[in-house]
Amino acid sequence: MAGKQQNHHRTLPRFRSKTIIFTLIISSFSLLVILFTFPSSPNPPVRIETSFVASLEQFLIHNAPKLNPPSRDDTVRGEKEDDDVRKLDEMVFERENRLLDEDPVYPVKVYVYEMPKKFTFDLLWLFHNTYKETSNATSNGSPVHRLIEQHSVDYWLWADLISPESERRLKSVVRVHKQEEADFYYVPFFTTISFFLLEKQQCKALYREALKWVTDQPAWKRSEGRDHIFPIHHPWSFKTVRKFVKNAIWLLPDMDSTGNWYKPGQVSLEKDLVLPYVSNVDLCDAKCLSESAPMRSTLLFFRGRLKRNAGGKIRAKLGSELSGVKDVIITEGTAGEGGKLAAQEGMRRSLFCLCPAGDTPSSARLFDAIVSGCIPVIVSDELELPFEGILDYRKVAVIVSSSDAIQPGWLVNHLRSLLPSQVKKFQNSLALYSRHFLYSSPAQPLGPEDLTWRMIAGKLVNIKLHTRRSQRVVNGSRSICRCDCWRPNSTASNSSNSLSHLLS
């Protein structure tokens, strides 16, 4: 009896041990089930803002005060020295030699100048504090602040570049803080805001100040501005001094080969870049496209000004030809808030949207149509399109010549002759392409900001060619460069003398 009791005491701890281990296994398994069943709350998704006014409000009120200046920024703030140019050239040479074995394209390295606030933040605040005063209009009646929004590419690019790297989503471009590390130099001067919201003489004086400030930089002197990027998206902006920066990369709404807005030799596809307007209407997303499909009963829609100057005279002819045609809506309208809603509703009820030339070969209407799911009908013989090295517009637009479009009955018959399967292909492509034309904060991969840097990357080797060529040519050598966007093969420069005279 005593032996049995002793055996019982020896087995009890072993039994308790097994019980504890079993309990722990069950508890661990239960915990894993709970964790997988109720995962921890993810970080809330970042809101993607596509409204210029709303994004600017967030940027100025919340983001800008938190921006820390670069730890080492070598922007020149005083008079330049020739020795600074030589030192920079040597450092660039050393860097490029080190990078010969690496990918020469991506990511593009951009140096953002730290310009005085009167060229940047002060102008943004000026717009922010006055944008509701829409009574301020241009001579043709367009609200000034709506025009500034349409051409606000300078804001979207700059706001993305100077954001903390942890908040940026683009892999095609990085900001560097040493000039010798840069492929390109971004000039963050808000030329459109200054043109529309400053008095004429005040604006001209600010243009001259910005010009002198930029041309004093060693990097400018080294390349004569060829690797500098100027946002000059409104064709009237920076007009009084832009002949002195014609070597630089201009961000434009179009090339305007008619000569009405840019002088011969100032712009070209080789050096400049066409960027889309900022859309006036809201995106028609996948749900909207599905819901609007049965309601697209209008064959062709246009709302805007029929009387335009220069290349836009085609509008009046088209208006006369198409007025009163069945299933076609052609109406006069403005770019104000009421005009936006009317245009948006009309585009979402139409299969095709007429996109004729305006005062310049382009207009925001093309991009409004794309984001509305309305197939653009482009009637603009001189138009150059954004990102055409990446995008094929034949997939999303009907492109016709002006001479055909004004022939009686031709355009409507041409559109009606398209098979339903062809129309469906256009619509499917529009659903995919719309993201390429939506500026946003934060900037999105394959959005217009991203495609801008992808296109600019393709210019890098050619810019280096012309920069190095200009550094080694000698006085008296014959010009062998036939492209009118580059100066003759000579170190003499009449424009430099004119620039010195202007700045003095």
Structural domain tally of the chain?
A: 2
Distance, CA of 268 to CA of 74 (rounded, Å): 31
Q: Tell me, what's the pLDDT at 309? A: 64
Q: Identify whether residues 297 and 230 lie together within a single domain.
A: no
Q: Identify whether residues 238 and 334 lie together within a single domain.
A: no
CA-based nearest residue to 244, from 262, 266, 271: 266
Q: What DSSP string describes 1-25?
A: -HHHHHHHHHHHHHHHHHHHHHHHH
Answer yes or no: is 486 within a domain.
yes
Q: Identify whether residues 107 and 244 lie together within a single domain.
A: yes
Q: Tell me the three state secondary structure of residue 330.
A: strand
Is the peptide bond between 107 and the residue preceding it cis, with omega within 30 degrees of 0?
yes
Answer yes or no: is 167 within a domain.
yes
Answer yes or no: is 14 within a domain.
no
Q: Identify whether residues 326 and 429 lie together within a single domain.
A: yes
Q: Identify whether residues 264 and 322 lie together within a single domain.
A: no
Q: What residue numbers bound the domain in which 496 lies?
A: 52-278+456-503
CB 299, CB 328: distance < 8 Å: yes
Answer yes or no: is 36 within a domain.
no
Mean pLDDT of 104-108: 75
Q: Tell me, what's the pLDDT at 41? A: 45
Mean pLDDT of 80-104: 70
pTM of the model: 0.82
Q: What tokens were used for 57? A: 């409000």
Q: Tell me, what's the pLDDT at 117? A: 96
Q: Identify whether residues 168 and 302 lie together within a single domain.
A: no
pLDDT tens per residue, range 395-425 = 999 999 999 999 999 999 999 999 999 999 9
Q: What's the mean per-residue pLDDT of the chain? A: 83
Q: Tell me, what's the pLDDT at 70? A: 60
Answer yes or no: is 487 within a domain.
yes
Comparison of pLDDT for 126 and 42, the residue scoring more:
126
Q: Identify whether residues 111 and 242 lie together within a single domain.
A: yes
Q: Identify whether residues 323 and 356 lie together within a single domain.
A: yes
Q: What DSSP string describes 51-111?
A: -HHHHHHHIIIIIGGGPPPPSS-----S---HHHHHHHHHHHHHHHHHTTTS-SSSSEEEE
pLDDT tens per residue, range 309-333 = 665 678 888 988 898 899 999 998 7
Q: Tell me, what's the pLDDT at 488? A: 39
Q: Identify whether residues 230 and 248 lie together within a single domain.
A: yes
Single-letter amino acid, residue 409: G
The CATH number for 399's domain is 3.40.50.2000
Q: Identify whether residues 338 and 423 lie together within a single domain.
A: yes
Answer yes or no: is 43 within a domain.
no
Answer yes or no: is 27 within a domain.
no
pLDDT tens per residue, range 243-258 = 999 999 999 999 876 6
pLDDT tens per residue, range 162-193 = 999 999 999 999 999 999 999 999 999 999 99
Q: Identify whether residues 119 and 223 lie together within a single domain.
A: yes
Q: Identify whether residues 212 and 174 lie together within a single domain.
A: yes
Distance, CA of 278 to CA of 153 (rounded, Å): 7
Distance (Å) of CA 45 to CA 48, 62, 325 = 9, 18, 48
Q: Burial code of 135-167, b = ≥16 C-beta within 10 A, e = fewer?
A: eebeeeebbbbbbbbbbbbbbbbbbbbbbeeee
CB 359, CB 315: distance < 8 Å: no
Comparison of pLDDT for 283 and 42, the residue scoring more:
283
CB 276, CB 254: distance < 8 Å: no
What is the DSSP pairing of strand 375-379 with strand 350-356? parallel
Q: Is the pLDDT of residue 234 over 90?
A: yes
Distance, CA of 103 to CA of 138 (rounded, Å): 47
CA-based nearest residue to 379, from 358, 400, 359: 400
Answer yes or no: is 373 within a domain.
yes
Q: What DSSP string describes 366-428?
A: HHHHHHHT-EEEEE-TT---TTTTT--GGGT-EE--HHHHTSTTHHHHHHHTS-HHHHHHHHH
Mean pLDDT of 225-230: 97
